[in-house]
Structure 1
Amino acid sequence: MCSYLHKAPNGIYYFRMSIPLDLRPFMGGKREIKMSLGLKDRDAAKLVIPDRTKAAHKLLDRARRDKAVATAPEPALPKSPARLDRERAQWEYDQEQAALIEDAAFAADMEIEALEPIMDALAAGHEPNASLSDIARAGRLLVTHEREKADADKRSAIAKMYARYGENGPAVEGQNQPVDCQSDPQPTGPCKGVYLDTDIVDGWAAERKPSPRGKDAYWRDAKLFNSMIGRKSVEQITKADVMAYKRMLIADPKRSQINVRDRLAYLRTLLEWAAQEDIIPGNPARDVKMAVSERGEKRKDFDTDNLTALFSGPVHANRAIPKDGMAGGQAAYWLPLIALFMGARREEIGQLRVCDVKRVPYIDEAEQRQEAWCIDITDTGDDDALPNQIKNEASNRLVPLHPKLIELGFIEYVERLPDQAGRVFPGLKPIGIGQKLTDKWGQWFSRYKVACGIADKAKVFHSFRHTWKTHAVDAGIPERICRQFQGHEGKDAADKYGATPSMRVLVAAIAAYRVPGLKLSGTE
């Protein structure tokens, strides 16, 4: 009996050899090696089986070598100080890039939201009532949208074709096919019917509690993966699928290396959660990453001239609070000042509640009881319809106010607010899927800084955090204290040990912070 010889319903004989389970990830996730012998005579087919067997064993040997390389443990070497510095610098750069990507995505969302009525009118064949520049931009966005939709439909059709026929197309009778690993249309066990874009995203989000915008981003990436590879139950997703997804992303000229890296990271996160929940035996995307050599435009600090120009503008020099609703009333005055003197993120400041501004007791160096005005940046609080949002666990922090903010009248402003159970900046309104309070405000600030003479696109509101860090280091504030003020996570395991810096230390540190050359006029 020739165990590798099988006759198809059309009478053609095939060579078929099962692939061991542990080698399948290294042979494209295939279940067996299969090839057509192009013969209908059994005796003739048996004569070519030995050669095909040798070829198949060569493929298996190559897969075993690939497995040995992939599973070989890396030697554990101690990290040098120089390597630790490089890793820290890379971590900070990655943080900046992630924030840049978030800002760019938000700007694109806001532009589409503003131009959506014009796009709808153009799609319906109506003449929109808008400026020529807005119509032109909306038209380009509409064309881009239609092209992306067509590309997604095309990829879906191709995926269905491959699922039906395999990469070589339908077999032709009598054709001698080359040795190949044929696609396995079904998993070895029963299909669980657990899908990436529904069950996995929902389960991951229920546990990790991302913002609505964050969940939507992961859902869109799951849909992108399905459109390129084909929608399949999650246990059917193989490393070969992930590698194919990576190649398709790289081949897309509209995607940068950073974009590809982030798409793979989102997929890796979802599959890692599925593996941790024992939905799948392992994460097929765990080792599939994108090396990034390109570097985006790095955000710059505000220099003294920039800050002088900004705070000499009408909002701060004359206390001329804009009537534009996007400016959020008093938020136009206070958000830049708090960001400059406290190093906090924009949304962290904008979502402050009155109860988050509080007096906190502490013991000073003379062992005397003192109190310090603080802001409590947290994701806990009232069970209202709009809970606070923070970036990560390290962002939960209680930090003392800079004396300059108290001098300028921030405490008096908070105490005079009519709604002492509400927010510090009631003029800010939530918008979009993420329900962020400061998104529209950010658009207003971008225009306002240009009006004040700051046209450099690399200098944005987030630059206040960079500026704060520069002046904090110049003031001799230790890195551990800087991280506490800015809500940054530690860079290594050693940073996770030890208590939060005491209020006494934080009060002394913020008092040492100053912005050389900046003069602010007037107090409230």
Structure 2
Amino acid sequence: MANTNGIFQRGSSHYLRVVLPINHELQKQYKSGKIILSLGSCSYREAVTLGTIKRAEILGLIAPAQKTTAEQAPTKRTPTAYYLRDIYQRWKESKPRSSDAINSCMRALILFEEQTKNPILQELTRAQGDSFRAWLQQPERNTTSKTARDRLTWVKSLLKYAYRDLEIINRHPWEGIEIHSQTTQKRRPWDVSELNKLFSNELFTSYQLPKDWRCGGDAAYWLPILAIFTGARLSELAQLKPSDIALDCEIPTISISNAGAGQQVKTEAAIRKIPIHSEVIRLGFLNYVQKTVMANDTQLWSKLKFRKNKPGGNYSNWFGEFRKELELPQGLDFHSFRHGVRSQLAENDVPEPTIDAIMGHEIKGSTGAKIYSHRTTSSIKAAIELIKYRDLRLPNELCKLNL
């Protein structure tokens, strides 16, 4: 909402709204009778000063300030000049965005403004992109190559949006400018001894659920078990609803999608159905699901609280501490379960397109392989049943734990 001086804020940037007099010469150019300009400032006090001057110039109360030769490059918005922060505002409002995406993009934008001195987009050069890339990777910045790459990618995404969606610039000035990142910590699958150490805890042997609220009650028990037999991501499992589990069919399945309230997937390829492994059924998972249905629970894990739109955020923090308490290696995390599933499927010569269908990856290979994406539930079930952990001692089914 604008103040009486016409200054208002979108995100962290301030804008000026000027209502034109009826006979003003700019009425033909601005049919709405209003001009809205970015002041390019995060400070309200500075925005008031800039806005007062700009309003007076527009209304003809003062002459536009004359610039010296050193000041010829535009530093404030004109009707045809756009800054990257303007594009960020349009990008943010174009469709629902996660808070993580908005914050990550803003951090990259602030770095862009700091290093490039915030030129108008029409004057942005490839040389500036190369300079920004080098600056992000300077040793004194103490950032990983992946972090530097991500920040460059966010800026390039805004430039692409300005070029393709808004047509504000007639080319993508930084297209092809890349940072090749190196993985600083490579994940590996859990080995059987590590899995036995995990599943020998009383949480699994006697269903002693932790008191820590972050573990989500029953989720503490079921999520690792589901992970080692589905290869699903933590966020996918954490957001499940009772209706996502197909009980009344020959082959029970878990449906992963973005159809329900609060549900999201990483990519379109992540939308899939995963047949439930016989070992998961043996442990009583279908009985647990039936119990949540009868209780009219809207979430499969009624006590699992989401964190900033991240279904598995709180659980991930708890699991990391739980792993440390068990003195398991630091290189292992929940996502390592996923690596183990893919490794097992590959070692059992499961075709790559079927593995991708199970894991929720984009199908690779020839055009024919991508088009012929239909796989029967029974064929995927056969692949799922190849997941076996020799010498792994899993707990008894829940009914034998007298729960």
The residue aligned with 2:305 is 429
Q: Which residue among 215, 223, 227 is the counterpart of 2:110?
A: 223
Cα deviation, residue 203, structure 1: 3.5
For 1:290 and 1:493, how far apart are their aligned partners in 2? 28
Ranges in structure 1 where 5+ consecutive residues have no aligned partner: 1-169, 172-181, 362-370
CA contact (8 A) 2:357 2:363 kept: no
CA contact (8 A) 1:211 1:389 kept: no
CA contact (8 A) 1:201 1:215 kept: no
Write the deviation string for residues 147-172 of structure 1: whole angstroms up to 9, x where unpaired: xxxxxxxxxxxxxxxxxxxxxxx99x
The residue aligned with 1:258 is 146
CA contact (8 A) 2:324 2:330 kept: no
Q: State percent identity of aligned pairs.
A: 27
For 1:250 and 1:483, how far apart are their aligned partners in 2? 34
The residue aligned with 2:251 is 372
Q: Which residue among 380, 393, 399 is the counterpart of 1:519?
A: 393
For 1:207 and 1:351, how far apart are their aligned partners in 2? 25
Cα deviation, residue 194, structure 1: 3.3
Corresponding residue SS for 1:477: coil
Corresponding residue SS for 1:240: helix
Cα deviation, residue 496, structure 1: 2.8
For 2:130 and 2:291, how far apart are their aligned partners in 1? 59
Tell whether 2:379 aligns with 1:505. yes
Worse overlay, 328-337 or 228-237: 228-237
CA contact (8 A) 2:247 2:286 kept: no
CA contact (8 A) 1:192 1:233 kept: no
Q: Decide which structure has the larger Cα Rg and report it.
A: 1
For 2:119 and 2:366, how far apart are their aligned partners in 1? 38
The residue aligned with 1:286 is 175
The residue aligned with 1:192 is 80
Q: Which residue among 330, 341, 346 is the counterpart of 2:229?
A: 341
Corresponding residue SS for 1:323: coil
Corresponding residue SS for 1:185: coil
Q: Which residue among 296, 303, 306 is the counterpart of 1:420?
A: 296
Tell whether 2:243 aligns with 1:355. yes
Rate the CA distance shift 1:301–1:183 in 2: closer, same or farther, 3 A: farther
Instruction: Report the aligned-residue RMSD.
Output: 2.6
Rate the CA distance shift 1:259–1:183 in 2: closer, same or farther, 3 A: farther
The residue aligned with 1:212 is 99
Write the deviation string for residues 28-69 of structure 1: whole angstroms up to 9, x where unpaired: xxxxxxxxxxxxxxxxxxxxxxxxxxxxxxxxxxxxxxxxxx
Matched residues, number: 328
TM-score norm. by structure 2 comes to 0.75
Cα deviation, residue 410, structure 1: 0.8
Q: Which residue among 353, 356, 379 is the counterpart of 1:480?
A: 353
Ranges in structure 2 where 5+ consecutive residues have no aligned partner: 1-67, 399-403
Worse overlay, 302-311 or 252-261: 252-261
Rate the CA distance shift 1:202–1:393 in 2: closer, same or farther, 3 A: farther
The residue aligned with 2:124 is 237
Cα deviation, residue 241, structure 1: 2.4
CA contact (8 A) 2:232 2:338 kept: yes
Write the deviation string for residues 84-143 of structure 1: whole angstroms up to 9, x where unpaired: xxxxxxxxxxxxxxxxxxxxxxxxxxxxxxxxxxxxxxxxxxxxxxxxxxxxxxxxxxxx
The residue aligned with 2:324 is 450
Aligned amino acid, residue 247 of structure 1: A
The residue aligned with 1:315 is 203
Corresponding residue SS for 2:280: helix
Rate the CA distance shift 1:421–1:239 in 2: closer, same or farther, 3 A: same
More helix by share: 1
For 1:184 and 1:248, how far apart are their aligned partners in 2? 26
Cα deviation, residue 204, structure 1: 3.3
Cα deviation, residue 208, structure 1: 6.2
Corresponding residue SS for 2:311: coil
The residue aligned with 1:270 is 158
Write the deviation string for residues 198-246 of structure 1: whole angstroms up to 9, x where unpaired: x423433455644221122112211221122123443332223222212
